[in-house]
Chain A
Amino acid sequence: MSLQTPLKRAIGLGSAKEGVHHWKAQRLTAIVMIPLSLWFVCNVASLAGGEYADLVTWIKQPFSAALMLLLLFSMFYHMALGLQVVIEDYVHTTWMKITLLLITQFGSILIGLASIVSVLLIATGD
């Protein structure tokens, strides 16, 4: 038997029996990407069409690598959350909804990880 009052159990829980984590994560990743994405666009615009060595030199700077990793994490997390909501809103055939959710959620993780590993390889390579 739980000693929690019913109110204590209900606070923070919607009908989906989960709290505001999804909402909060979507906003936090959005906020962190405001400066990060502008930083990325400025750097990539100057690297555009440049030499391979320029890109490597840029990513090998600790702060560039760190900010790239933070951007990639936020971006793929934000993307997984966003695609989840879009699919849940518009796809109402259960098997199709579940299939699309599995593809987009695991796809985001896989492609996000591959991007992060790529940055780490460039940053640590010789």
Chain B
Amino acid sequence: MSTQNRPLSPHLEVYRLPLTGLISITHRMTGVALSVGTLLFAYWLIAAASGPESYATINGFLGSWIGKVLLFLWSFAFYFHFCNGIRHLFWDAGKGFDKEVVEKTAKAVLITSVVLTVLTWIIILAGGGS
């Protein structure tokens, strides 16, 4: 008997995820994205340990437009995972399960992570760093 191709519920092709569901899967996706980002983080540290030349090379890449776009996306993924992670910790403590609260904290996570990302980049770019 084939157990590989049975239909699974919810049927993701026809089911529009509610905001809370979207946030839930985004938490996982940002987690995986951040894992990929740790490769760059590790590379940055290894380059720094290898000396000024290799550090200058990786900094040059991070300062280029593609590096900046990657860092921008990475910073949003970080703040999102950070905020929603705190939401998860409250759930682990048994708090915040009411439907209205869950909806409210979902929106709060989205808004807070966008605001923190934008603030961080205003500070970095205004500070004259590249």
Contacts and interface: CB of A to CB of B under 8 A. Distances in A.
A binds B: yes
Interface of A: 27, 30-31, 34, 37, 41, 45-46, 48-50, 52, 55-56, 59, 75-76, 79, 82-83, 86, 92, 104, 111-112, 114-115, 117-119, 121-122, 125
A57 B73 CA distance: 28
A111 B42 contact: yes
Contacts of B52: 52
Given A45-B124, A111-B38, A119 B45 contact: yes
Q: Binding site of A, secondary structure by majority: helix, strand, loop or mixed?
A: helix
Q: Binding site of B, secondary structure by majority: helix, strand, loop or mixed?
A: helix
A46 B35 contact: no
Give the 7 A-B CB pairs with smallest separation, nearest first. A118-B49, A49-B130, A48-B129, A118-B45, A49-B129, A52-B52, A121-B49
A115 B129 contact: no
Contact of B89 (A30, A41, A121): A30
Given A37-B78, A50-B129, A86 B32 contact: yes
A118 B42 CA distance: 9
A79 B30 CA distance: 11
B55 A55 contact: yes
Among B56, B59, B130, residue most surrounded by chain A Cβ atoms (within 10 Å)? B59
Contacts of A45: 120, 123-124, 127, 129
Contacts, number: 77
Interface residues of B, number: 33
Interface in B60-86: 63, 75, 78, 82, 85-86
Interface of B: 4, 28, 31-32, 34-35, 38-39, 41-42, 45-46, 48-49, 52, 55-56, 59, 63, 75, 78, 82, 85-86, 88-89, 92, 120, 123-124, 127, 129-130
Contacts of A86: 28, 31-32
